């Protein structure tokens, strides 16, 4: 019995150490990702981004996939960017940043203003006081109303 308990404890300990190491790696790169988001910069190449899906939320609850998607949008990698944005909405659907970036993706990559408006409207409904969201929402609304006339 004692041997079983020791073996179980060792296996659990190795697993916990592995998870803590993955979290540590994530926290190291999050510093750069969050800085780039706040300054609207790109300081890493897509190839330098490790696969960061554990933990799925950053230290300030922004999904890590949202932070990574910003790099893929700028690299013109449509499939990865859109997939990351869709997955990150599942990680934390209560933040408008993911919908804002999805809206920008549809404008910059697909030139699809109607799809873009759907996402920016969701972001605007969540946080109408964020200047970048409200500016994009109002501008898209104005453009689409002119097209409908």
Nearest-angstrom CA–CA distance, 119 and 69? 15
User: If one looks up domain 2-148 in CATH, what number appears?
Assistant: 1.25.40.10
Contact 84, 69 (CB under 8 A): yes
Q: What is the pLDDT of residues 103-129, one digit of tens each?
A: 999 998 888 899 999 999 999 999 999
Measure the N-to-C terminal CA separation of the chain; round to a whole number of Å: 79
* pTM (predicted TM-score): 0.78
Domain ranges of the chain: 2-148
Q: Which of 41, 42, 36, 94 is nearest to 63 (CA)?
A: 94
Residues 23, 29, 34: CA angle, nearest 5 degrees:
110
């Amino acid at each position: 019995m004692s041997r079983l308990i020791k073996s179980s404890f060792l296996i659990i300990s190795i697993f916990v150490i592995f998870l803590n190491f993955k979290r540590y790696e994530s926290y190291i790169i999050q510093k750069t990702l969050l800085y780039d988001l706040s300054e609207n910069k790109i300081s890493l190449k897509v190839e330098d981004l490790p696969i960061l899906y554990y933990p799925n939320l950053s230290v300030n609850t922004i999904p890590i996939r949202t932070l990574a998607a910003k790099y893929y949008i700028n690299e013109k990698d449509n499939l990865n960017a859109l997939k990351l944005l869709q997955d990150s909405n599942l990680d934390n659907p209560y933040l408008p940043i993911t919908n804002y970036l999805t809206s920008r993706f549809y404008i910059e990559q697909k030139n699809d203003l109607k799809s873009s408006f759907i996402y920016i409207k969701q972001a605007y409904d969540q946080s109408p006081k964020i200047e970048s969201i409200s500016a994009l929402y109002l501008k898209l609304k104005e453009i689409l109303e002119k097209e409908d006339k």
